[in-house]
Amino acid sequence: MPELPEVEVVRSGLAPAVTGAMIAGVTVLDERALTRHPGPAAGFEARLTGRTVQAAGRRGKFLWLALEPEGDTSAPATEAVVGHLGMSGQLLLRPAGAAPERHERIRLDIHHPVHGELAIVFADQRTFGSLAIDELIPTPDAAPGGHGWGEASVPRQVSHIARDPLDPAFSDTRLRSLLARKDSAIKRVLLDQTVVSGVGNIYADEALWAARIHPETPAKALSTRAVNRLLAEIRAVLEKALAEGGTSFDAQYVNVNGQAGYFAHSLNAYGRTGQPCPRCGRPIVRVSFMNRSSHYCPRCQRMRMPRPLRAA
DNA sequence: ACACTGCCCTGAAGGC
DNA sequence: TGCCTTCAGGGCAGTG
């Protein structure tokens, strides 16, 4: 289940191999991997072949390979290959001509001036992930579009997604004011990528546990102090997971070399139903919530309403 | 305009 | 043993 740390591990693993590399060949094995690409697979292959990759960027759970403009290579990039790993997508770096991966959907054969011939394989069991060629459009705040991408542009398909909490241009103020207006449960709001990006079910549960906030607390009921604590814990859990190479449960998430991360050993709430809370010892509870699971400690994460709401 | 539900998909795991 | 159901859940179209 790739969230920000897992996607960043993929991006940073890909970056040295793809930056400056020429896409020599494109093979689409399954068109479902192009659901977000406008137009047929043949067009995807034709438009990418011969292009050079300028950089590998990421915002939240989306990543993209910016393409050097054809002709004037000093001009700013106007197009990118946007990728989302969905539930089970993998981007793997393989030697040229490597045997097909299980669930391989798309292969890019690349030629790098230093590293030579390589293959980038997009494999995806559940086919929620996709690649697409997309236009790069200016960022409204004129800050760089994402991590690893210094230009003030972002793929159109990513432009409605909020910056992620590790982005230097992330606005804490904007988040506080959005939360103050939302009646929805804080967990639901954390999963809304237009509010804050990069957080999925695992890290939402972990950050709420660390901040001692009940997942069903209405967002607007959180005090400023609680919101600040939550934001700090979101950043802490994302950074820790990143340092450990991401979380893996079922070998669906792996880095570009096919290796799993170690963060699963560090989880305090997610997936620990019935096991003691590391803080207080009470068993972690699992509840079904918006077609997902929420895991929390019923003692440490009690619902607290401020006076104005309790009166109603 | 916002809040929320349902759907897409495959394979592993559990129940009977 | 084997079939059937359930579960995993990100993002977005569609509904209210």
With cut-offs at 50, 70 and 90, classify the pLDDT of residue A266.
confident
Say whether the CB atom of A292 is under 7 angstroms from strand C.
yes
For chain A, percent of residues with pLDDT exceeding 70:
95
Domain count along chain A: 2
Q: Assess whether pLDDT exceeds 50 at residue A264.
A: yes
Q: Which two tokens stand for residue A63?
A: 């990543």
Claim to verify: residue A137 and residue A192 sit in the same structural domain = no
Which of A136, A158, A180 is the last residue before a domain boundary?
A158
Domain boundary among A158, A189, A220: A158
Which bases of chain C are contacted by protein, using any atom under 7 A from a CB?
7-12
A11: annotated active-site residue: no
The residue that minimises its CA distance to C1' of C10 is A86
Q: What does the pLDDT average to over A25-35?
A: 95
Quick one: pLDDT at residue A211? 97
A130 touches strand C (CB under 7 A): no
- pLDDT bracket for residue A128 (50, 70, 90): very high
What does the pLDDT read at residue A249?
Answer: 55
| DSSP element (H, E) containing A122 | strand A116-124
Q: How far is CA A117 from the centre of its chain?
A: 28
pLDDT-derived band at A305 (thresholds 50, 70, 90) equals low
**Looking at residue A106, what is its pLDDT?**
97
**A164 located within any domain:** no
**Assigned domain for A167 exists:** no
CATH of the domain at A299: 1.10.8.50
Structure tokens at A2: 């790739």
Give yes or no for residue A304 having a pLDDT over 60: yes
Long-range contacts of A304-307 (CB under 8 A, 24+ apart): A304/A214, A304/A217, A304/A221, A305/A221, A306/A221, A306/A223
Q: How many residues does chain A have?
A: 312
pLDDT at A311 over 80: no
**Of A50-54, A77-81, A184-188, A264-268, minimum mean pLDDT range:** A264-268
A200-236 tens-digit pLDDT: 999 999 999 999 999 999 999 999 999 999 999 999 9
The residue range of the domain holding A73 is: 4-158
Bridge partners (DSSP) listed for residue A137: A154
Chain-wide mean pLDDT for chain A?
91
CATH number at residue A136: 3.20.190.10
Question: Do both A145 and A208 map to the same domain?
Answer: no
* Contact between residue A151 and residue A136 where contact means Cβ atoms under 8 Å apart: yes
CA distance A120 to A96: 9
Residues A113 and A190 both lie in one domain: no
Name the active-site residue from A2, A144, A155, A165: A2
Q: What is the pLDDT of residue A253?
A: 67
- Give A76-110 pLDDT, tens digit per residue: 999 999 999 998 999 999 999 999 999 999 999 99
Residue nearest to nucleotide B11 (CA to C1'): A125
Count of beta carbons in the 10 Å neighbourhood of residue A116: 11
Strands (E), A198-307: 285-289, 292-296
